[in-house]
Amino acid sequence: MKFSKKLAVLAAAGLALMGTAACSNGNSSSSSSKIPSKITKKTTVVFWHGMEGAEQSTLQKLTKEFEKKNPNITVKLESQGTYIDLQAKINSTLQSPNNLPTITQAYPGWLWNAAKNKMLVNLTPYINNKNVGWGSAKASDIRSELLKGAQIQGTQYGIPFNKSIETLTYNKDMFKKYGIKKVPTTMAELKSVSETIYKKSHHKVVGAGFEYLANYYVLGMKNAGVDFSSKINFSGSTSKSVINYYADGIKKGYFRISGSEHYLSGPFANEKVAMFIGTSAGESFVKQGVGKKFTYDVAARPGKYTIQEGTDIYMFNHATAEQKVAAFKYIKFLVSKSSQLKWANATGYIPVNNSVINSAAYKSNTSLKLPATLSTAMKHLYSIPVEKNSDAAYTQLNGIMQTILSAAQKHQNVNNAINEGKQKFDAAWKQ
């Protein structure tokens, strides 16, 4: 994942969905009995995506492999640039539904209005169809939490594809140098280890930081027993406790934010920070930055929960019956065991199916640290609930937290920033 892509992942959600026109194609669901069992004529599937670099080249290779196995189906890959660009293109084209692609990568929050206006295909009948799908969701072998994360109001509109989670990346050599014998598994341990490293390094090395501030807040609240919703009291005691954990660490110097550097993988590679919590999809950049300077490793994110990130594949309802079947066959191929193993090893994204996650073929990939620890790291997955304006509220969090933690960095009282943040947070839910 390119740094620009990583930034786009966070920023993309900030583009609010415009009002959408209802599709003239009626109901968004199809019964299993009405689904054609075969593709008997040449059929083209248009796929909008936001993949770049190794991700795009791997997607192209997989697509050619699929087309070779399915000569009646042509998949037209159309790159839309970054996720920001992709969301903007979807957003503008929803006004002219017939110009939409057959399928697209997307976060579910982007498509809230599209689902409400019956512009998406309910994929459950395709999943349950034994000729086209797997016969059942369980038979698909796709991780159930990932499947649930691709639902909008309980309907299975998406199939997980390029997914990642948050993990803890740490400097093993530095741990040894400062006598750290246990990788932190709780937030209390993370604080303790960070304080120790900061003190023993004579304030030259910051203990830790969180790369994605919105995720920090959401998971902090979830680990405190509070789901992400409009009912959150941002200035309440639980919320303040989550915020102050990070703010206090910044004031005292053992925590930091990415700030103008945008990502913590750079300071980590330069040995300015001992640990950071960020996307698992960024490990290839960590590996490149670290080189042979020291030994790093990847562990589960401290706390019970981690968050699932990355996009799913959604299908638009304007497509013909043949295009829908062809598209689902293609999606099924992309999330097959063989394809997911190739995809994960080539891109650093996590496999979406259990058989690959737990396979020796995946765990034996020594070029990355993640495969060996993934099954443990994703034991408890959390997804941002897909509700009206949840995407906007989630996106607003990054700026809100940035303002609060910047105040802490200046040794200012953060209560005023929290109260201002509450106003913005509540407004995002109510827009």
| Digit-coded pLDDT (tens) for 76-126 | 999 999 999 999 999 999 999 999 999 999 999 999 999 999 999 999 999
Residue 379, CA distances (Å) to 59, 142, 190, 257, 354 in order: 28, 14, 19, 27, 12
Average pLDDT over residues 259-283: 92
Render pLDDT for 161-176 as a digit per residue (tens, 0 to 9).
Answer: 999 999 999 999 999 9
SS3 of residue 315 by DSSP: strand
SS3 percent helix, strand, coil of the chain, rounded to 5, is 50, 15, 35
Task: Give the phi and the psi of residue 60 in degrees, each rounded to 5.
Answer: -65, -40
Which of 95, 99, 122, 94 has the alpha carbon at shortest distance from 27?
A: 122
Residue 135, CA distances (Å) to 66, 73, 124 in order: 21, 22, 10
- Considering the domain architecture, whether residues 357 and 392 belong to the same structural domain is answered as no
CATH number at residue 417: 3.40.190.10
What is the number of domains present in the chain?
Answer: 2
**Residue 412, number of CB atoms within 10 A of its CB:** 14
What's the burial of 303, exposed, middle or buried (CB within 10 Å: 0-12/13-18/19+)? buried
- Considering the domain architecture, whether residues 173 and 139 belong to the same structural domain is answered as no
- Considering the domain architecture, whether residues 122 and 267 belong to the same structural domain is answered as no
Q: What percent of the chain has pLDDT over 90?
A: 82
Beta bridge partners of 45: 75
Average pLDDT over residues 343-363: 93
Render pLDDT for 294-334 as a digit per residue (tens, 0 to 9).
Answer: 999 999 999 999 999 999 999 999 999 999 999 999 999 99
Q: Given pLDDT bands bounded at 50, 70 and 90, which one contains residue 31?
A: low
Place of tokens 């059942």: 136
- Considering the domain architecture, whether residues 18 and 90 belong to the same structural domain is answered as yes
Q: Given pLDDT bands bounded at 50, 70 and 90, which one contains residue 54?
A: confident
- Considering the domain architecture, whether residues 225 and 296 belong to the same structural domain is answered as yes
Q: Name, in order, each residue with C-beta under 8 angstroms of 11's C-beta and a sequence gap of 6 or more.
A: 83, 84, 395
Q: What's residue 260's pLDDT?
A: 77
- Considering the domain architecture, whether residues 219 and 89 belong to the same structural domain is answered as no
- Considering the domain architecture, whether residues 207 and 106 belong to the same structural domain is answered as no
Average pLDDT over residues 64-79: 97
Domain that holds residue 66: 3-164+310-379
The answer to whether residue 22 scores a pLDDT higher than 80 is no
Task: Give the phi and the psi of residue 414 in degrees, each rounded to 5.
Answer: -90, -5
Q: What's residue 14's pLDDT?
A: 39
Render pLDDT for 358-390 as a digit per residue (tens, 0 to 9).
Answer: 999 999 888 899 999 998 999 999 999 888 899
Average pLDDT over residues 157-162: 97
Q: Measure the CA–CA gap between 399 and 401, rounded to whole angstroms.
A: 5
- Considering the domain architecture, whether residues 27 and 87 belong to the same structural domain is answered as yes
- Considering the domain architecture, whether residues 98 and 155 belong to the same structural domain is answered as yes
- Considering the domain architecture, whether residues 193 and 142 belong to the same structural domain is answered as no
Give the 3-state DSSP-derived string for 238-250, with helices as H, strands as E and coil as C.
Answer: HHHHHHHHHHHHH
Task: Give the phi and the psi of residue 153 in degrees, each rounded to 5.
Answer: 55, 40
Render pLDDT for 189-215 as a digit per residue (tens, 0 to 9).
Answer: 999 999 999 999 999 999 999 999 999
- 9-23, 46-60, 113-127, 347-361: which range is least confident on average? 9-23
- Considering the domain architecture, whether residues 201 and 248 belong to the same structural domain is answered as yes
The answer to whether residue 27 scores a pLDDT higher than 60 is no
- Considering the domain architecture, whether residues 298 and 336 belong to the same structural domain is answered as no
Average pLDDT over residues 41-60: 94
Beta bridge partners of 160: 312
The answer to whether residue 262 scores a pLDDT higher than 90 is no
Q: Measure the CA–CA gap between 101 and 82, rounded to whole angstroms.
A: 17
Q: What's residue 33's pLDDT?
A: 56
The answer to whether residue 410 scores a pLDDT higher than 70 is yes
For all residues of the chain together, what is the average pLDDT?
Answer: 91
Which of 285, 383, 395 has the alpha carbon at shortest distance from 276?
A: 285
